[in-house]
Amino acid sequence: MKKVTRRDFLKLAGVLASASVINVDLFAEAFRKEKNALETSVEYFKSTCKMCVNFCGINVKTENGVLRAIYPDEARRDYYNIGNCPKGISGIWNTYNPYRVKVPLKRRNPNKGINEDPQWEEISWEEALKEVAGRIAQIKSDDPRKIIWYHGHGKYLLHDGWMKAFASAIGTPNVVHRTTVCEGAKHVADEITWGYHEFLPDLEYTNYLKNMGGNYAEADQWARWLDHATLDAKERGMKLVVVEPRLSNIGAKADEWVPIRPGKDVLFLLAMARVLIDEGYIDKNFLITYTNAPYLIKGDGTLAKDNSGNPLVWDIDINGPVPYDNATNIALEGSFNDTVYANGEVKTAFQVFKDYLTTENISPEAVAEECGLSAEQIRRIAIEFGQSASIGSTINLDGKTLRYRPVAIYTFRGLVAKEYGTQTWRAGLIVMMLVGALDAVGGVLLHEPGKSSEYMNPSSCEYPPSRIDLKKSAFFPHATHDVAQQALFTVPEPSKYGINYTPEMQIFFATNRPFSTSKAELQLEGLKNTYNVAIEISMSETAWFADIVLPDKTYLEAYGYYGGRWVPHARHHTLHYPIVNTYNIPYQNIEILVELAKRAGFLTGSGGFLDKINAEYKFSNPNLDINKTDYTAEQLMDVLWRNKTGQSIDEGKKKGFGGEKFVTVDERYLKGVEAKFKGAGKAKIHFYCDELVGTKNVLLTKLNNVKEVFKEWYEVTDGELNSLIETKLSPLPRKDHAYPVSYRKSTNYPYYLITFKRMYRNQSGYCNINPVLNQVAHDADTNHIWINPETANALSIKDGDAVIIESRVGELEGIAKLTEGIRPDTVAVSYHYGQWSGGYPDWAKKGTWINKILEYHPDMLSGMNSFNDTKVIIRKKQGGEE
Amino acid sequence: MRLGRFIDTERCIGCRACVAACMNENFYIPGNPWIFVIEEEIGKFPYVKRRFVPMNCMHCDEPACKKACDYVGAFAISKNEQGVVIIDYEKCMGCRYCVTSCPYGVLQYIEELNTLFSEKTPYDEIPYENRHPVHRKKINTVEKCTFCWHRIEKAVKDGKTSEIGVNPEYTPACDIVCPVGARVFGDLDDPNSEVSKRILSKSAKRIKKHFGTKPKIYYTIVEGGE
């Protein structure tokens, strides 16, 4: 054979350019001649992906019963996803995976630790179920609160009603989900403001979208709708401004990236508010008609009320205070003296806010340096936002005249996973209230506003806490979502938190929670002295600390339900069901619960598991037979599916979704704040969260019970406690909220550390053992320490160097990635790498376990974990350094 | 018919769904992706952009790989009447001149027939005789993207070439999975095809056109093209 170099070849290219076109399909011909070709039976299954929490439609292809590929379900395009992400497509490889747990395992080594070999012994299902059920029965008869149930992703595999019913049948209040390690503070800000949670930009009409911390081109809830809908809106002409310290992949699509300093979003938003007020971009009608901005506030921060307890406003026509419902010409601004109801000096809530901005000198110029941005940029964005809001305009859709405010702010974990996450997002909501963008066409559409009005009341600050995660207690008064990261800190020392029982058993269903929160190693301490059970598909770090591991089926092998992600124009329910059973595992998750309940004696009868399921879901047509002892997952899911969609499970399996509908203009724009908050006789959106003042007053009466923990969490002295509570429970966001504990105390740690999600992982579970997810990108199997080249140069760090990253919690090693896509004073690390479980191969254990060195100062309001507040030192690893 | 693709880098979010779909579809051998995504960072902080450029075989009108292969006398690379360039593993000698001649660096030499896990899964056990010839991979040969010829070929057999790029069944897997609609596939000879229209409306360009191979994948906002 003649040697041909690339250069020779290119010289010859012209000579050889006459290559003939081959018209014969050689391969098809070869295939036809293949005498030994086997009959191939190809089938497609319309189902739902559960590789993350988007619940995308998938079309699963099998060949002769073998999983062959996963494609998007075309029928789901109109309702949610138009394609799939690499997690969804690679789901095959979590099902076909030799590193799965295939049989029940029992721990033989009583010592639990990262470096302890559990000495697993394979046992029969009967032995495993009998042992676990025996433990449950024993503790249940003693004190059922001592059993703690955890589900993270398990909630999304099945829907959490099943698990809540299981815990209720046991009698424990301790069911712990993961929201506070993702976006819990966002939910709580929404709830104390407008009575429920979740919102989406109305992207079909939005003209200006400011995204502050949503990472939805990578991995967020709603990512697979927000991504394509945002790009469609951009093509329509929408401006996308992304405010974040690290250039995320959605930031990469932005018209403008605004690299704000970590934790300073509240200053940016307050400065925006100042500009909007000063420049007159205020929707006075919205503020007066829908919010409590005109309510009169007394000097102590509480609402001024009449003798019947009705909130007062100042009526301009009579120049006096009247109950809101009786007023004819309501003042939005002003300071007054209420002599009628003896409330004394009062101001409208709007005036309180405006005065705060003025007296604290909050403006773009004043906050620019702290935000690490130019004043011109902040001011310009505020004015663009105000102008784009088209305040006062309406649009006619489907014969209805609707408020038209085509501006929106979106957020997620990046902004709220902080000590002041709730208050920071409150500032975002206030900015949108100022221009009237809530539930307006093109604005932000709220999910069932006013649904849970109790969220807008003061907390009772429960003490002693009933739950191990301290949810809704005096420690986290408005934590309406489970405080996932706190539970394992409480378990080893419950009395410290006023808990009057000692946990004995912890059950983890599809969650690797301890691995993926602040002070992660300390989290694991909470697993050492309890009897632990893990229901998992692989040997996670949490499972490594289990006494019994029960194998689960994957979503391609099992039934599962979840309400589909709602979008502005549509609703649906989602279903998945068994397509294969790779390792002949006899039970799926819900069936394990049934088997445990049966053996522990609480499956049937009044108050039993089945009865509790009926109650939890309010099943009506049909109900579960509470005396039936052999329900399968299919039968259980059939009852759920019929109640949710009116269809049988067999119908559901044909499409993988059901109960779908497109919402009308009426439902989309007139059933939310228009119905719940508009005008007289209705509650009002909380521009001013007076319930937090109420909560503060309750909490102060219980401060002695919680002060030692607060002193530890927030590093304050006794003398600083009252001021701390005042700041935490402020009815309006303040500039203090830009200064979390770690920023104030880590004076010798110059760099801000933020953490983020990547496309190739879902939290910290199971994706690391998926080989396709590890190989789809050159760096998908590991994480890096993102450092700006200017910073790296000053520290003599080169791309790919081993570096040491150190916080007040500890230090660890990582690999530097130099990128212009991060602020010079900030480093960023994705938080779901660095696994170490002995059940994983080496290729699944790469990267830096950054959660080990994250500081823990939870958001007092919501319980949100402080993922993005830590400060660190970075240095190049020296030769010989361990 | 001259099949080609439009990739809208203004829409691509760099998720690698296309890469994963290709891996499933085409019996991926670890280390030998048929698609990869180049991440490009442009500018200095704070004026910085990141761009994603998915790369795979360009199915050139005048493929350099084929010329190299013909020159060494293997004649393992053909271009069919749909414009799809395919390597015949039975004829490939493993000389790798095609690999060195490709301006796009998208051909992969098969050194070992490794699977994703050391232990074979039911997927790996799908017998060769049940696989399309483009998936009957051999050691010491070269592999690359086939535009999912096994799907295109089905359209040809079914007499539905007009549905290529429209019907998912007759469209490359990488194109149908894209979560943001950044990829469009179809007949470049048909001015009314979606791919032709998008190339025109977005003023899409081809990469490394100066090598003269006449590639058939068009991108938005990529400098250095035509």
Which of the residues A64, A80, A85 would you substitute to probe the B interface, choosing the one with the greatest number of B C-beta atoms within 10 Å?
A: A85
Using an 8 Å CB-CB cutoff, list chain B residues near A96. Answer: 121-123
Residue range A603-623: mean pLDDT, rounded: 97
Using an 8 Å CB-CB cutoff, list chain B residues near A10. Answer: 64, 101, 211
Give the pLDDT band (50/70/90) at residue A862: very high
Cα first-last separation, chain A: 53
The answer, yes or no, to whether residue B221 has pLDDT greater than 80, is no
The three-state DSSP-derived secondary structure of A267-297 is HHHHHHHHHHHHCCCCCHHHHHHHECCCCEE
Q: What is the pLDDT, as a whole number, of residue A198?
A: 96
Q: Are residues A27 and B212, on separate chains, in Cβ contact within 8 Å?
A: no
Residue range A715-724: mean pLDDT, rounded: 98
Q: Are residues B24 and A69, on separate chains, in Cβ contact within 8 Å?
A: yes
Beta-carbon contacts of A647 under 8 Å, excluding residues fewer than 6 positions away, are: A641, A658, A659
Which of A354, A266, A340, A278 is closest to A310 using CA atoms?
A: A340
Residue of chain A nearest B17, judged by CA positions: A86
Contact assessment for residue A461 and residue A477, using Cβ atoms and an 8 Å cutoff: yes
Q: What is the pLDDT, as a whole number, of residue A19?
A: 35
The answer, yes or no, to whether residue B114 has pLDDT greater than 90, is yes
For chain B, what is the total number of helices (H) and then of strands (E)? 6, 10
Residue range A50-69: mean pLDDT, rounded: 97
The answer, yes or no, to whether residue A882 has pLDDT greater than 70, is no
The answer, yes or no, to whether residue A827 has pLDDT greater than 90, is yes
The answer, yes or no, to whether residue A30 has pLDDT greater than 80, is no
User: B183: which DSSP letter?
Assistant: E
Least confident of A511-525, A540-554, A709-723: A511-525
Give the integer Cα–Cα distance in Å for B66 and B88. 11
Contact assessment for residue B116 and residue A769, using Cβ atoms and an 8 Å cutoff: no
The three-state DSSP-derived secondary structure of A669-738 is HCCCHHHHCCCCCCCCECCCCHHHHHHHHHHHHCHHHHHHHHHHHHCCCHHHHHHHHHHHCCCCCCHHHH
Using an 8 Å CB-CB cutoff, list chain A residues near B127. Answer: 38
Structure tokens at B119: 């232990």
Q: Are residues A74 and B173, on separate chains, in Cβ contact within 8 Å?
A: no
Q: Are residues A97 and B63, on separate chains, in Cβ contact within 8 Å?
A: no
The answer, yes or no, to whether residue A26 has pLDDT greater than 70, is no
Compare CB distances from B81 to A14, A21, A250 and report the shortest one's residue.
A21
Q: What is the pLDDT, as a whole number, of residue A23?
A: 37
Q: Are residues B176 and A83, on separate chains, in Cβ contact within 8 Å?
A: yes
Residue of chain A nearest B83, judged by CA positions: A21
Q: How close does chain A come to B4, measured CA to CA in Å? A: 16
Q: What is the pLDDT, as a whole number, of residue A21?
A: 37
Q: Are residues A86 and B15, on separate chains, in Cβ contact within 8 Å?
A: yes
The answer, yes or no, to whether residue B225 has pLDDT greater than 80, is no
Q: Are residues B134 and A27, on separate chains, in Cβ contact within 8 Å?
A: yes
Contact assessment for residue B68 and residue B94, using Cβ atoms and an 8 Å cutoff: no
Q: How many Cα neighbours within 13 Å face the side chain of A173?
A: 12
User: B73: which DSSP letter?
Assistant: T
Q: What is the pLDDT, as a whole number, of residue A7?
A: 40
Cα first-last separation, chain B: 22
Q: Are residues B80 and A70, on separate chains, in Cβ contact within 8 Å?
A: no
* Cross-strand bridge partners of residue A786: A817, A828
Contact assessment for residue A482 and residue A501, using Cβ atoms and an 8 Å cutoff: no
Q: Are residues B179 and A228, on separate chains, in Cβ contact within 8 Å?
A: yes
Q: What is the pLDDT, as a whole number, of residue A32?
A: 45
**Is the ipTM value over 0.95, yes or no?**
yes
Compare CB distances from A27 to B37, B48, B86 and report the shortest one's residue.
B86
| More confident call, A115 vs A37 | A115
Q: What is the pLDDT, as a whole number, of residue B118?
A: 95
Give the integer Cα–Cα distance in Å for A120 and A546. 10
Q: How close does chain A come to B178, measured CA to CA in Å? A: 5
When the pLDDT of each residue in chain A is averaged and rounded to a whole number, the result is 95
Residue of chain A nearest B67, judged by CA positions: A16
Query: How do residues A669-691 score in pLDDT, each as one tens digit?
Result: 999 999 999 999 999 999 999 99
Q: Are residues B173 and A771, on separate chains, in Cβ contact within 8 Å?
A: no
Q: Residues of chain A with pLDDT > 90: what percent?
A: 94
Using an 8 Å CB-CB cutoff, list chain B residues near A60. Answer: none
Q: Are residues B24 and A250, on separate chains, in Cβ contact within 8 Å?
A: no
Q: Are residues B153 and A98, on separate chains, in Cβ contact within 8 Å?
A: no
Q: Give the pairing type, strands A239-243 and A256-258.
A: parallel
Using an 8 Å CB-CB cutoff, list chain A residues near B178. Answer: 83
DSSP secondary structure letters along A298-310: ETTSSBPB-TTSP
Q: What is the pLDDT, as a whole number, of residue A5?
A: 40
Query: How do residues A342-391 score in pLDDT, each as one tens digit?
Result: 999 999 999 999 999 999 999 999 999 999 999 999 999 999 999 999 99
Residue A547: alpha-carbon gap to chain centroid: 30
Give the integer Cα–Cα distance in Å for A639 and A208. 44
Q: Are residues A74 and B168, on separate chains, in Cβ contact within 8 Å?
A: yes
Which of the residues B11, B12, B15 would you substitute to probe the A interface, choosing the one with the greatest number of A C-beta atoms within 10 Å?
A: B15
Give the start-end residues of each E strand in chain B. Answer: 3-7, 36-44, 47-55, 77-79, 85-87, 108-110, 141-143, 183-187, 205-206, 217-219
Q: What is the pLDDT, as a whole number, of residue A765?
A: 85
Q: How close does chain B come to A782, measured CA to CA in Å? A: 16
Q: What is the pLDDT, as a whole number, of residue B223?
A: 58
Q: Are residues B178 and A83, on separate chains, in Cβ contact within 8 Å?
A: yes
Give the integer Cα–Cα distance in Å for A206 and A211. 12
Which of the residues B49, B99, B114, B177 would you substitute to probe the A interface, choosing the one with the greatest number of A C-beta atoms within 10 Å?
A: B177
Structure tokens at A586: 């006899």
Using an 8 Å CB-CB cutoff, list chain A residues near B95. Answer: 1
Give the integer Cα–Cα distance in Å for B20 and A770. 11
Query: How do residues A432-482 score in pLDDT, each as one tens digit?
Result: 999 999 999 999 999 999 999 999 999 999 999 999 999 999 999 999 999
Structure tokens at A310: 């009705």
Q: How many Cα neighbours within 13 Å face the side chain of A666?
A: 1
Q: Are residues B20 and A778, on separate chains, in Cβ contact within 8 Å?
A: no
Q: Are residues B21 and A17, on separate chains, in Cβ contact within 8 Å?
A: no
Give the integer Cα–Cα distance in Å for A406 and A385. 9
Q: What is the pLDDT, as a whole number, of residue A880?
A: 72
Q: How close does chain A come to B58, measured CA to CA in Å? A: 16
The answer, yes or no, to whether residue A33 has pLDDT greater than 60, is no
The answer, yes or no, to whether residue A25 has pLDDT greater than 50, is no
Query: How do residues B45-104 score in pLDDT, each as one tens digit?
Result: 999 999 999 999 999 999 999 999 999 999 999 999 999 999 999 999 999 999 999 999
DSSP secondary structure letters along A398-442: TTEEEEB--EEEEE-HHHHSSTTHHHHHHHHHHHHHHHT-BTSBT
Residue B47, classified by CB atoms within 10 Å of its CB into exposed (0-12), middle (13-18) or buried (19+), is exposed
Compare CB distances from A775 to B30, B81, B125 and report the shortest one's residue.
B30
Contact assessment for residue A208 and residue A228, using Cβ atoms and an 8 Å cutoff: no
Q: How many CB atoms are closer than 10 A to CB A774?
A: 23
Residue of chain B nearest A373, judged by CA positions: B46
* Cross-strand bridge partners of residue A401: A396
DSSP secondary structure letters along A542-608: HHHT-SEEEE---TTTS-EEEEPPPBTTEEEEEEE--S--TT-----HHHHHHHHHHHHT-SSSTTS
Which of A510, A654, A652 is closest to A589 using CA atoms?
A: A510
Which of A567, A517, A340 is closest to A413 using CA atoms?
A: A517
Residue of chain A nearest B102, judged by CA positions: A6
Q: How close does chain A come to B211, measured CA to CA in Å? A: 8
